[in-house]
């Protein structure tokens, strides 16, 4: 039996948790409840009065073709960003795991992009791909490709996906490398003796053994693509051309702060909030259960 230790009642524990509670209340609970309340209101065109309309804003979104298109666009944008950055990070980590000399240098260099702010990352890609000044359009011209992401929606989407994925590679790389290095070395050696070459070992031993990390990163990257890519999109395309790179979080901003439809924008942010909550629940479900192997 465990002995229960009794402490005299004291205010100290409450004082210690107070800062955390206050920060959560001020920066999360309060704005979230404001948004929830706001999503039930419709303002008139001049912003002078507002009317309580229950779920009308949500019903409107449900029937809005543009919103639904944005929804799907966000979905495959996230998949593309997650897929691209994770597979690239996986390959890099696979190589870095085998490097013996100068391993620290490679790792440090590979981690740098993570320290770049999203807007700056976006600016970087804007310069590189500027149709008149950029270096890449110059080379692409030789290949017969006319690059102008200000006009062509496909190219615009490709560019934001590349920029968003590039920035996340470092993060994924770190997790993949850590996961690979936690595999006992003798297991890899046993496979080598059993006759498996490097690629076979990667496919049949390493990749299955790091699958928990893959699931974890999938959720993290989806959440990243949903929310943290705002700065990149804002710097590169501002959601254009013709809304072709507008994802949900960018539409919240556009409708609310540019279009001044506060009620509708609040309703969108409430939907986003529930999306992220459900993704987090899925993730914790996996972390708790661990992926079986």
Q: By CB under 8 A, is residue 204 in contact with another protein?
A: yes
Q: Which is nearer to another protein, 32 or 103 (CB)?
A: 103
Closest CA to 86 of 206, 218, 182: 218
> Which residue, 114 or 207, is less far from another protein as judged by CB?
207
Asked if residue 196 binds another protein (CB under 8 A), the reply is yes
Is position 289 an interface residue for another protein (rule: CB under 8 A)?
A: no
The single-letter DSSP state of residue 257 is I
Q: Which two tokens stand for residue 50?
A: 């507002």
52 pairs with which residues across the strands? 41
Residue 195 lies near another protein (rule: CB under 8 A): yes
Q: Please choose, from the candidates 152, 144, 146, 120, the residue with its C-alpha nearest in 3D space to the C-alpha of residue 134.
A: 146
Element housing 110 (H / E): helix 103-111
Burial environment of residue 23 by CB neighbours within 10 A (0 to 12, 13 to 18, 19 or more): exposed
Q: Is 186 in the site for another protein (CB under 8 A)?
A: yes
Q: What span, in angstroms and rounded, lies between the C-alpha atoms of 30 and 52?
A: 19
Nearer Cβ to another protein (150/286):
286
Q: Is 209 in the site for another protein (CB under 8 A)?
A: yes
Q: Which stretch binds another protein (CB under 8 A): 79-87, 190-198, 252-260, 269-277?
A: 190-198
Q: Rule CB under 8 A: is residue 179 a binding residue for another protein? A: no
Binding test (CB under 8 A) with another protein, winner from 19, 47, 102, 184: 184
> Does 205 sit near another protein (CB under 8 A)?
yes
Stretch touching another protein by CB under 8 A, among 74-82, 103-111, 193-201, 222-230: 193-201
**Radius of gyration of the chain from Cα atoms?**
24
Helix 135-142 to helix 118-129 angle (10° resolution) is 40
Helices (H) and strands (E) in the chain, counts: 15, 2
**Smaller CB separation from another protein, 208 or 285:** 208
Q: How many residues make contact with another protein (CB under 8 A)?
A: 18
Q: Is residue 153 exposed (0-12), middle (13-18) or buried (19+ Cβ within 10 Å)?
A: middle
191 binds another protein (CB under 8 A): yes
Residue number with CB closer to another protein (84 or 206): 206
Binding site for another protein (CB under 8 A): 184, 186-187, 189-197, 200, 204-205, 208-209, 293
């Amino acid at each position: 039996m465990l002995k229960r230790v009794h402490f005299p009642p004291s205010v100290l524990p409450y004082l210690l948790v107070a800062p955390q509670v206050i920060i959560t209340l001020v920066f999360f609970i309060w704005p979230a409840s404001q948004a929830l309340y706001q999503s039930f209101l419709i303002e008139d065109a001049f912003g002078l009065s507002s009317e309580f309309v229950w779920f009308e804003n949500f019903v409107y979104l449900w029937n809005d073709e543009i919103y639904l298109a944005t929804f799907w666009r966000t979905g495959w944008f996230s998949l593309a960003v997650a897929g691209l950055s994770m597979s690239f990070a996986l390959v890099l980590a696979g190589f870095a795991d085998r490097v013996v000399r100068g391993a620290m240098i490679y790792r440090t260099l590979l981690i740098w992009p993570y320290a770049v702010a999203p807007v700056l990352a976006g600016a970087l890609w804007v310069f590189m791909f500027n149709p008149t000044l950029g270096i890449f359009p110059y080379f692409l011209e030789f290949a017969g490709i006319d690059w102008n992401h200000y006009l062509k929606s496909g190219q615009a989407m490709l560019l934001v996906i590349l920029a968003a994925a590039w920035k996340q590679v470092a993060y994924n790389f770190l997790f993949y490398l850590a996961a690979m290095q936690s595999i006992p070395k003798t297991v890899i050696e046993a496979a080598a003796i059993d006759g498996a070459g490097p690629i076979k070992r990667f496919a049949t031993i390493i990749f299955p053994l790091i699958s928990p990390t893959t699931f974890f990163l999938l959720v993290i990257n989806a959440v990243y693509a949903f929310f943290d890519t705002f700065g990149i999109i804002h710097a590169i395309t501002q959601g254009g051309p013709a809304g072709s790179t507008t994802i949900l979080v960018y539409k919240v901003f556009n409708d609310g702060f540019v279009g001044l439809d506060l009620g509708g924008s609040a309703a969108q942010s409430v939907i986003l909030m529930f999306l992220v909550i459900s993704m987090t629940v899925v993730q914790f479900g996996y972390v708790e259960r661990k992926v079986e192997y």
